[in-house]
């Protein structure tokens, strides 16, 4: 039979019903954990988890069973007492415990990855689980439209909060067998009971089941393999209202408490996916094509969210395109700046000149866009090509007075054109005079041999 739980918002002069939760249980109890409403169904011995920010009518996961550690009375025993906001007291066994969620178990029980990410972004310490969900989406070849929604969801709070939080082990989460149960009822110090019993609903709301629940209520978490448990509670910090401060967060106004740094997503999501690609490079491989599209979608999502696109991911994307010889696609991505400009990427493009001639031009354009930090690399590239005259023009245009003279003179001396060396030497001498008031080179520049050669050419008789 369909039952309802009504939630009310309490104001100074009125009471307003804000939510109505549907469930099929005549005996229920409610507690709060990590801004979630946990409803215990006594008859079926399962826990329903409600996140009012995501779905104000239905539970966000399938019903999950509750598990307690050894030493407590049987589950949903009449001796259990609920203590606000998330404590369980078992006077018969002389134990007290606190609820905590097992996010990996919830993730394993969820089918909709997008809704799962919405849920995880507002949970405490959910970074490793979020990385696992994103990595699983690539492994399962999730539809690209869904992948794009997931990336937009992850990048939006990152753009708003700009919070970088280190992940202890972003590459591989701990196996489920090694994870502690989500909610274990263990002994707690007497200070945990210092707070007098209070309402177990967040401040400003009231829970009213259509049928009065049994006087004893269990408190859930979600444990490994879909079970729930309770971990030993820290000492509660009571507030003036008698409710611990962690339970008085308004779920309607809270913002994501954590965000994922792009470097963690690249390291824990995209790099493992690249490593899992087949050894043979086949551009028709569905997994490779899906990964390339996902990487492009992530870069686009960052730009849409107002974040700088990740240069490391851009470099990885272009490397995959080079491996399969998709140079036209590479050209388009760089030309449209779908991949972010960076010094490393520009140098990689220049080095691709032997395989794809226009890549060098793309790299040079990128260096010009990068500005002052890349000016020296522009001259270096021209010197390596032997175009020493263009290098000198670039030095004059960009006013690179500190660029070393010897590499330019070495290239000029090796040219067969007899006019190149004296022209370059005279240019550098004029640069020395404008900078130091003298045309001479400094001893540390090691240009004596070129000075001797220049003077010899000046003394040499000219032809008729």
Tens of pLDDT, residues 305-359? 888 888 899 999 999 999 999 999 999 999 988 888 889 899 999 999 989 999 9
Q: Contact at 8 Å (CB) between 431 and 395?
A: yes
Q: Which two tokens stand for residue 245?
A: 């401060």
At residue 324, the 3 state secondary structure works out as: coil
Asked whether the predicted pLDDT for residue 225 surpasses 50, the reply is no
Buried/exposed code over 351-369 (b: 16+ C-beta within 10 A; e: otherwise): ebbeebebbbebbbbbbee
Q: Which two tokens stand for residue 79?
A: 């001796």
pLDDT at 121: 86
Instruction: Please give the residue that has the higher pLDDT: either 2 or 148.
Output: 148
Q: Contact at 8 Å (CB) between 131 and 273?
A: no
- pLDDT tens for 376-422 read 999 999 999 999 999 999 999 998 888 999 999 999 999 888 899 99
Q: Mean of the pLDDT values across residues 449-456?
A: 91
Q: Mean of the pLDDT values across residues 129-149?
A: 94
What is the crossing angle of helices 144-161 and 286-304, to 10°? Answer: 30
pLDDT at 462: 57
Tell how far CA 99 is from the center of its chain: 28
pLDDT at 288: 94
Dihedral angle sign, alpha carbons of residues 140, 144, 147, 151: positive
Q: What is the mean pLDDT of the chain?
A: 77
Query: Per-residue confidence at 11, pLDDT binned at 50, 70, 90?
Result: very high
Asked whether the predicted pLDDT for residue 229 surpasses 80, the reply is no
- Which class for 328: exposed (0-12), middle (13-18), buried (19 or more C-beta within 10 A)? exposed
pTM of this prediction?
Answer: 0.70
- pLDDT tens for 147-160 read 999 999 988 865 34
Q: Mean of the pLDDT values across residues 285-314?
A: 91
Q: Mean of the pLDDT values across residues 257-262?
A: 56
242 beta partners: none
Q: Mean of the pLDDT values across residues 166-181?
A: 39
Q: Mean of the pLDDT values across residues 23-29?
A: 83
- pLDDT tens for 414-437 read 988 889 999 999 999 999 998 888
pLDDT at 306: 82
pLDDT at 58: 85
Phi/psi at 40 (nearest 5 deg)? -95, 120
83 beta partners: 87
**Cα–Cα nearest to 167, from 294, 67, 263:** 263
Instruction: Please give the residue that has the higher pLDDT: either 210 or 453.
Output: 453
What is the crossing angle of helices 311-323 and 343-351, to 10°? Answer: 20
Q: Contact at 8 Å (CB) between 222 and 101?
A: yes
pLDDT at 75: 83
Tell me how crowded residue 44 is: count the other CB atoms within 10 A of its CB: 14
pLDDT at 169: 41
**Cα–Cα nearest to 50, from 41, 60, 42, 40:** 60
Q: What would the DSSP string read from start to end of 272-313?
A: HHHHTS-SS--TT-HHHHHHHHHHHHHHHHHHHTTPPPPHHH
Q: What would the DSSP string read from start to end of 43-74?
A: TTTEEEEE-TTT-SSS-SS--EE----TTSPS
d(CA 40, CA 46): 6
d(CA 102, CA 179): 9
Asked whether the predicted pLDDT for residue 82 surpasses 80, the reply is no
Distances (CA, A) of 278 to 182, 272, 273, 288: 37, 12, 10, 8
Asked whether the predicted pLDDT for residue 257 surpasses 60, the reply is no
Asked whether the predicted pLDDT for residue 107 surpasses 60, the reply is yes
Query: Per-residue confidence at 361, pLDDT binned at 50, 70, 90?
Result: very high
Q: Which two tokens stand for residue 409?
A: 């003179």
d(CA 235, CA 104): 26
- pLDDT tens for 188-210 read 444 444 433 332 333 233 333 33
Q: Which helix (H) or strand (E) holds 425?
A: helix 420-436
Q: Which helix (H) or strand (E) holds 36?
A: strand 36-41
Q: Which helix (H) or strand (E) holds 7?
A: strand 3-10
At which residue do the structure tokens 């960052």 appear? 302
């Amino acid at each position: 039979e369909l039952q309802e739980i009504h939630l009310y918002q309490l104001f100074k002069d009125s009471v307003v019903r804000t939510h109505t939760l549907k469930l099929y249980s005549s005996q229920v109890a409610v507690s709060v954990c990590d801004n979630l409403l946990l409803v215990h169904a006594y008859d079926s011995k399962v826990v329903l988890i409600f996140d009012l920010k995501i779905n104000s009518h239905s539970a966000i996961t399938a019903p999950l069973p509750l598990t307690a550690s050894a030493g407590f009375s049987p589950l949903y025993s009449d001796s259990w007492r609920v203590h606000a906001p998330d404590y369980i007291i078992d006077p018969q066994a002389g134990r007290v415990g606190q609820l905590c969620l097992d996010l990996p178990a919830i993730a394993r029980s969820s089918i909709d990855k997008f809704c799962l990410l919405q849920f995880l972004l507002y949970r405490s310490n959910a970074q490793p689980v979020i990385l696992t969900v994103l990595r699983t989406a690539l492994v399962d070849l999730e539809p690209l439209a869904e992948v794009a929604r997931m990336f937009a969801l992850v990048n939006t709070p990152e753009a708003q909060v700009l919070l970088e939080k280190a992940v202890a082990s972003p590459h591989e989460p701990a196996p489920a067998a090694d994870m502690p149960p989500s909610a274990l009822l263990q002994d707690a110090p007497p200070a945990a009971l210092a707070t007098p019993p209070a309402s177990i609903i967040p401040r400003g709301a009231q829970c009213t089941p259509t049928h009065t629940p049994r006087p004893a209520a269990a408190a859930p978490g979600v444990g490994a393999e879909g079970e729930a448990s309770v971990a030993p509670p820290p000492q509660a910090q009571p507030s003036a209202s008698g409710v611990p401060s962690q339970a008085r967060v308004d779920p309607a106004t809270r913002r994501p408490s954590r965000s994922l740094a792009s470097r963690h997503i690249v390291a824990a999501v995209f790099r493992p996916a690249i490593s899992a690609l087949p050894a043979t490079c086949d551009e028709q491989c569905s997994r490779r094509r899906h990964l390339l599209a996902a990487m492009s979608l992530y870069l686009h999502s960052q730009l849409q969210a107002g974040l700088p696109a990740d240069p490391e991911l851009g470099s990885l994307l272009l490397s995959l395109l080079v491996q399969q010889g998709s140079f036209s696609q590479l050209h388009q991505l760089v030309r449209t700046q779908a991949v972010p400009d960076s010094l490393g990427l520009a140098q990689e493009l220049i080095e691709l000149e032997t395989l794809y001639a226009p890549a060098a031009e793309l790299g040079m354009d990128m260096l010009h866009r990068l500005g002052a930090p890349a000016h020296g690399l522009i001259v270096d590239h021209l010197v390596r090509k032997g175009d020493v005259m263009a290098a000198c023009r670039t030095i004059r245009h960009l006013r690179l007075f500190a660029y070393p003279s010897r590499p330019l003179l070495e290239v000029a001396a090796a040219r067969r054109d007899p006019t190149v060396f004296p022209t370059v030497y005279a240019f550098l001498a004029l640069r020395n005079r404008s900078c130091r008031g003298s045309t001479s080179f400094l001893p540390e520049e090691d240009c004596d041999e070129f000075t001797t050669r220049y003077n010899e050419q000046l003394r040499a008789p000219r032809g008729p």
